[in-house]
Chains A and B, each alone.
Chain A
């Protein structure tokens, strides 16, 4: 037969650990608050595919296309293609310097892209930096051009000055 614990003893034990029960309640509230906060703050699709927001993929895919792609540019600007393929910039696609041009490609008549500022755009690649391989053409632009825009002397589509004297249709040596 089971002996029942006298009621006062249980009451006494409860009194002695009352503060701990209250502490446990506070901790439980903290855990619940954490879970609720997490549910409220963390996006629903978080973790759908990995440790990131799943919806981000669809959102990025839904953004309008900004770049036209060099094939589209080359469809119209054949003269530039002829110039470019003879120089060192042959492998450089149009939008690297001219920026995203999908809107211009869609409506060439009304959307005219501004010409890039060669003083800024050329320096992005050609400003001297010891991190670049020695064989890569690079200059300290302040000393090299004295503030002049690069296209004063260089034709960006065929940048080597000696090459510019040759006809665009001539074979590259």
Chain B
């Protein structure tokens, strides 16, 4: 297969080595970090309004975190060896750090926090359920059914402490992903000290948007009324985070334009040609400015609940698409131009190949299947919550 090349490329640049799967990796870890940070808001900063999404956000983070290393393992090939990235973590390279970062976040933060939060429910279900579910819950109790007031208080304190550790850990997880790109000094499209920070904020944006959409979707599927106060608060947080994220990206852009170093003309040409659709149209116009404008409208004008819900749903979808486009533009864009700044290559994505579109689609569906199973085992809501949600008085109009 001949890859269309324009101008001069070094031979090892013609074919892209990091495929759509490497686009998925930061996208998925971003959703994990963002969903966790939203959950932490409720716990650490006592934002009561977002409470209905607390558990859903934790389960979303877990289901995406379980899938996060799969694109890397598929990309590496050699299933018999790729497991070693967990077993031989090392400080000598940012990529070899993966084992530390991943295992810490999964084992020491997310699983612990979920277990402590659900322990009471697990113990109760281990006594009330029957058959296989009972066995699952029995195993999850670890053989202890203590539910004294004091034990629950200890769980609460410990959970709070883990969330406190979890916030910097979530920042570390996604900051680390940004650092991998930002620290490649040979690549001017990536090399920027702002990269980890931009990645963290974009992670928060995508995670908050994803949990908001999942909350709306799950409420609809359960035929329960959406807690509009909660939705308003999430949308507000989404807008503020998005504005910070966009400002940081623009700051990076302005810095590059003003600096105008030897790479600038080449990168500028690339943005105006090969990345025009994915960066300018999809990422900036559709995926950033439109959702910020939509969310801004809901802050400036009073709309009815149903109109606000529709606006939030549209803004959420556009946000997730925009952040995916951002990951695409970083990963793929960074490989489209020559290090000589004299040529450009193209990315040809396969379909039913190990790193093709079909694999990417399956990897994106997988977290939702895991989430569905997790929600079945550990329901993030109670019936009482739904009833109280429908009785809430919308406070948005007053603000």
B-contacting residues of A (Cβ < 8 Å)?
12, 15-20, 22-23, 26-27, 30, 34, 37-38, 41-42, 46, 50-51, 129-132
Contacts and interface: CB of A to CB of B under 8 A. Distances in A.
B151 A16 contact: yes
B88 A17 contact: no
20 contacts: A15-B148, A15-B151, A16-B146, A16-B154, A17-B154, A18-B144, A18-B146, A18-B151, A20-B154, A22-B142, A37-B87, A38-B87, A42-B88, A51-B88, A51-B92, A51-B96, A129-B11, A130-B6, A130-B343, A131-B343
A18 B7 CA distance: 68
Contact of B146 (A15, A46, A131): A15
The main secondary structure of chain A at its interface with chain B is helix
A17 B8 CA distance: 67
Given A131-B5, A131-B11, 13 more contacts: A12-B150, A16-B148, A17-B154, A19-B119, A20-B154, A20-B158, A22-B144, A30-B107, A38-B88, A41-B84, A51-B96, A129-B14, A130-B5
Given A26-B142, A41-B87, A51-B96, A19 B151 contact: yes
Contacts of B9: 130-131
A42 B119 contact: no
A15 B152 CA distance: 12
B79 interface: no
A102 to B, nearest CB: 28
B88 A46 contact: yes
Interface of B: 5-11, 13-14, 83-84, 87-88, 90, 92-93, 96, 107, 112, 115, 119, 141-144, 146, 148, 150-151, 154, 158, 343
A19 B142 contact: yes
Contacts of B143: 22
Contacts of A20: 154, 158
A71 B163 CA distance: 69
Contacts of B88: 38, 42, 46, 51
Contacts of A30: 107
Contacts of A15: 146, 148, 151
Contact of B90 (A34, A51, A131): A51
Contacts of A19: 119, 141-142, 144, 146, 151
B11 A41 contact: no
Of residues B7, B88, B141, B343, which shows the largest number of chain A Cβ atoms within 10 Å of its Cβ?
A: B88
A42 B83 CA distance: 11
